[in-house]
Structure formats: C-alpha cells, structure tokens
Structure 1
C-alpha cells in the first residue's frame, strides 16, 4: 500500500506529491531532509528530498551497471529542489555501515511519500544502531567545523552543533534526533543556540555573529561529551538486523512496492 502526503508541517510553498509521481521507478519513500529537517531553514533554503527507489530485477542481473543512485537539482515553481534516491539494496547496505545520514532520511517525520515497505524498513532501523555511529557524527562535525573556520558562515557552525548533539543524543537514548531546536533544550547544548537558529532563518549563507573563542570552546566540550556518551552507551557493537533487512530486500524485490505486504 502506498500513501502520498501532499501537505507537510513545514513552510514549503510547493506541492511535492507530483515530484514523487514523476519518478521512473517505484519509490518506497520520499522524505524532506536538510535544513528543514534540522530545524533551521532560511527563507531561500532549497528543499532536500531523499528517498529509496526500486530498480526492476532485470536492471540488476544484466550486463549494464544499474543506476543505484539518482541525483537531480532543479527549480520548480520558484523553489529549488534537490532530489537524491538510492535503490533499496544500496540504501540498506548504507544503513548497515554506521551511516547516521541515511537513518535520518529514513526516519524523517517530514514524509512526502510512504509505503508499507518504508514502515517496515523504519521499524528495523533500531537493529542497525551501534555505538560506532558516534564516529559518523564526530567526523561530520569535524568537517563542518573546518568549513566554519574557513568561511565564518553560520550554516556550517549550526551543522557542527547539530551533528554533535545528534550523536550525543543517539549514544544516550538510542534515538535518532536531527532537529536542532529540540536538541537545543538538552543539558549539554549551549544556551545561545536558539539565537543562532533565529539568525539563520534570515540568510542561508550569512556570517556568524559569534564569539569565536566561546563557540570553539563549546565545540571542543561537546566532542568530549560525545566521547563519554559513546563509552557509556548501551548500544550494540554490531548491527543485529542484517538477516531481517536481507529478507525485506528480497521480498520487496520479488513483489514490487505496490504488491508488498509487511
């Protein structure tokens, strides 16, 4: 069973349902990621759509290389759209590689299109979470911090704080939480984060009006908090859902998205 949700609880002045209908292969899901998911979109932010498509079996068993990842950017009704989808098998393999980014897409509450297969895949997500996902968030934070040091822009600074706090929250709770305004309410978050989020709403690429020494100190502190949370985490060392995910991929491939029943 498929379901398209044309109205999302975010400020996007475009109907996204037709975008789903235009895709060449069946979609298991499409969600909104990026700044809208993270809770700090600007007036001129693009809309990041992420999802999973299902390639026909013939495209996987023939001689030609399958199009496992599709990426497209275009303007629709004055809104810049960025769409990336992976074939189901590739997406599941990414899930099994301590990749927090794809889990955020899978579990995004900003759903454009969903199916029974999407819901079953999301239900299996806890079975791939490990304490080693901290490495993903630690590395992402380091990349964004270097970008902030180079440009001085607010966007990479917010990304730095977002991924560190997401990693800490995941290590402690086993929950993937990507929404910075929610994470800003937690004990370890700097008190000035809501002000930075509000400033980001005005300009996508504006400069960060911050005390650089203070934010550097807070970033270093949060790295330490993440290290400690990882060491104390109750999450497993390795994914436990490999067999269940394998079974899901086979069943969806054999039946198609519309014929799948969980």
Structure 2
C-alpha cells in the first residue's frame, strides 16, 4: 500500500516522540478497504526518560484524527511500556498492529519485538477474538450494515487461524479461501463500493447467522485443542527490553 508522501510527512512533523514503528491497520490490513476507507495508522513511540521517572507523566497514548484530502486519517501510538503491557494482556489488536505487513516506519526495536511474537501468542488470545466478534455481530443485528458483518467473520477466522497455526493472518480474502464461508468474496466486493452500505441482497441472513454460530463454536474448539501454551511466556524478555530501551533513550 502506497500512502501519500505528504500524509507521512505530516505525521512525522506532528508526532511529539520518536517512533519505533508505524503500520497500517483497519480495513486496508484486513483486505476489504472501500474507495473512501479511513487510513488507520498504529504504532509505538518512546517517551523521554524524564517523562517516565519524573512527576510529569502523560503521553502514554498519542492520537490524532483529521481530514486528509477528503479521507479521514487516524493515528494512534502507544508508549513502549503500555504497548508491551497490552501485548502481555493478549490484545489481538496490538498484536496485529505489530505484525502488520503494511509498514510505514520501522526500527531495530520493531524487529526485536517481532522476534518475541512466538512467545507472545497463546490460547488466551481466543478470548479477544471471541469477544470482539460477539460485539461486531450484535452491531450487525442492530443496524444490518455490511461493515460489522465483515468484521465479525474476519475476527473469527483470524482467531481460528491463530489457534491452529500460531500465525497471525488478518487478510480476509486469504482467510475466506481457506475457511469460508463461500459468499465472503461477494461481501468484500460490496464493501469496496460502499464503506457503510448494506450487504448484497443475495445474502441469506439466516445462513449468515448459522455460519456465525458455527465459526464461534469452531474457534472455541480450536482453542481447546490448540498446541499453543495456555499463557504468554514473553514477560521476562519484554521487561528486559523495556528497561534496556529506556536507558538507551532511543528506539533506533
């Protein structure tokens, strides 16, 4: 994905702290961006040591949203310690941001964090994907829109793939080709033309509900028989990484 250079320059000029990485998230990462999809940038920054050890805290999360040539740009980054704590709390969202192949900025610290991913992934990540998909399905039942329906299936399939393989796959077209349902390509095509539209008229809502229930059960079953560890084992390594990086004072 090629982002406008002036957008990247604006992020660099505006952001108050050095960044270890910035990646693209949202619909572009999930493989179903529409023509007017938001540009979601997520990443990790490093607070100066005096901000961490002194009395003036703040800055753990930095965010900004603005209109960039008619497209909404949304940037959120977390400080190193907060980001690592979220990883250790089995946040599938930040894990996906870390491993996103759509890299805008990177650093040796980013590469080091990526090396810890195998020790971060555990069966408890299924809790995140089950909870997120449940919330998206409820939203779909409420408004009948296409976007939460796609997020429901994307989340469930990502969770199933993670429990089966230990690998993070967020691209819905690839997931759909392996796990189904077979009508997902039609939903993705409809999303390209309307960010907040409704599913195509050919969608059988009763079947979609059955598939949601079936995939939820499958994710639970894949979790229960997964070879992944029950809990993450990365805490000591991430703790050492945070201390060493803080003392060095740079993400480079």
Using structure 2 for the length normalisation, give the TM-score: 0.95
1:40 equivalenced with 2:1 (yes/no) = no
Q: How does 1:140-155 map to 2 (within 5 A)?
A: 140-155=132-147
Match of 2:91 in 1: 99
Shift of 1:57: 1.0
3-state SS of the aligned residue for 1:32?
A: strand
Q: How does 1:159-178 map to 2 (within 5 A)?
A: 159-178=151-170
The question of whether the paired residues in 2 share the 8 Å contact of 1:115 and 1:257 is answered with no
3-state SS of the aligned residue for 1:48?
A: strand
1:118-147 C-alpha deviation (Å, 9 max, x unpaired): 010011112111101001000000000000
1:39-93 C-alpha deviation (Å, 9 max, x unpaired): 0001111100000010001111222332101111001233310000000000000
1:169-202 C-alpha deviation (Å, 9 max, x unpaired): 000000011110110111x320011111011000
The alignment covers a number of residue pairs equal to: 249
The question of whether the paired residues in 1 share the 8 Å contact of 2:7 and 2:68 is answered with no
Q: How does 1:110-125 map to 2 (within 5 A)?
A: 110-125=102-117
The question of whether the paired residues in 1 share the 8 Å contact of 2:18 and 2:45 is answered with yes
Looking at structure 1, the residues matched to 220 and 170 of structure 2 have their Cα atoms a distance apart, in angstroms, of 19
List gaps (5 residues or longer) in structure 1.
Answer: 1-8
Shift of 1:14: 5.3
3-state SS of the aligned residue for 2:169?
A: coil
3-state SS of the aligned residue for 2:161?
A: helix
Q: How does 1:1-262 map to 2 (within 5 A)?
A: 9=1, 12-13=3-4, 15-22=6-13, 23-186=15-178, 188-209=179-200, 210-257=203-250, 260=252
Shift of 1:161: 0.1
Change (3 A) 1:15 1:182: farther
3-state SS of the aligned residue for 1:183?
A: helix
3-state SS of the aligned residue for 2:116?
A: helix
Shift of 1:241: 1.2
The question of whether the paired residues in 1 share the 8 Å contact of 2:49 and 2:249 is answered with no
List gaps (5 residues or longer) in structure 2.
Answer: none
